[in-house]
Structure 1
Amino acid sequence: MTKKIFFVFTIFTFTLVSHIQSQVPEKAEDISPLLIGEKIPEAKLTDADGNEVELNQIIKEKPTVLVFYRGGWCFYCNNQLSGLAEIESEIIALGYQIVAISPDNYQNIKPTMEADKVAYQVLSDSKGQLIKDMGIGFKTPEKVHKYIFENTNKEATDVIPVPTVLVVDTSGGILFEYINPNYDVRLSPKLLLANLEVLKLEF
C-alpha cells in the first residue's frame, strides 16, 4: 500500500513539475533560466540554408559563445551581432566560436547576416523550443507583434527570448552567462573578451 501511494505521488510530482516547466512567462522579468554549471539541452535547429543541424554537434567542436537574440527586426540585436562580428577574430584566437540563435524563420537569417556583416553561424529556433527549454523565453508582447508585422510584414513568433549571452564548454556545460530583461542593455564586447580570457585558463 505504501509503495503504491509513493508511486502515485511520484507520478503526480513529475507531472506537476513538467507542467510548470512547460509554462511560458508573460514577462521578461519572470523567466527562470538555466544556471552556470548546468548543461544546455540538446536541440535541432535550422541554418540559413534550411538544413537541420544539431546544436550539441556544433558545440562539440570547441567552446562556444552562444548568443540568443530576439530577431533581425530588433535594432539592439543587430548592433550586438555586428559588434560580435568585429571581435570574432579575437574570440577565435582565444579558442572559441560564436553561434547566434533567434526565433526568426531561417529565411530571415541571410538578410540579417548580410546587414550585420556576420560570418559566424546564425541559426533558427523558429518554434522556440530551445528558447523555452533554456528558460529564457517569454510570451511575445502584443506591441512587439504589431511592430514586427508593420516593419517586416511577417507574423511574430509566440515566444521571444530575453537577450542572452552564454559561454559553454564542448559538453554543453554553462561556464558564464549574461541575461538582462532590459533588452536595450547588452554585454559589451570588451567585457565579453575579458571573461573569455579568464575562462580560457580553465581549459
Structure 2
Amino acid sequence: MQSISKFILFNVLGWKVVNGFPKDLNKYLVIAGPHTSNWDFPLAILVRFSQGVMINFIGKKSLFKPPFGFFFKLLGGTPVDRTKSKNMVQTLIDVYNTNDKFIFAISPEGTRKKVSTWKTGFYHVAKGANVPIVMATLDFGRKQVLINDPYYLTDSMEEDFLYFHTFFKDVKGKNAEQFDPNFHLNLKKQ
C-alpha cells in the first residue's frame, strides 16, 4: 500500500512531502491544516500511507454508516456524535495513557468552513497526555505537505498558538478563502 500511495501522491497528483512523520516516537498528536475541502481527507490518507505510519482520526458519525462506514473504520477512524455532549478531551487523554503507541490526527478548525478561532481541544489533549504536537500542512498552493519536528508545548498557550500561526500562516488550502491566517489572534482565554 505504501508504494501505491507514493506513486499516486507523487507521480499522479504531483505532490511532495517535506520531512516526514517521526518514526522514533510512539505517541504524538498531529494537527493538519488548513482544512478547507473534502479533498483534504483523501490527500491526508495518501500521505499517511506513503509515510508508513498508522494515524488515527475521528469523524462525524454519519461517515461511518453503511455502505462505506467499514472503510473509514479500517482506515483508523472512530465515529463521533457531535450532537451529544461528551468529554472528548479526557477520552483521548485516556486513550493515550492506556496505549503504548498511539498517533492521532485532527484539524484544529473542526470544520471545512472558515473560522476565526481554532478549537482548543487538541491542545488540551496534548497537554493532558503529555505528548508533542506534529504539525502538517495541506498546502495546495505549493502542492506539498510540510511536516514539522515534534513540538513540545510550553506553559503559555499564547506562545504555543503563535508558534502554530507561524507554521500555518502562509499555507494555501484547496479553498484558500476559507482559511483565516489570523486564527491565533482570536484565542479565547480559558
Same fold (TM over 0.5): no
- Which structure would you say has the larger Rg? 1
The structure with the largest helix share of the pair is 1
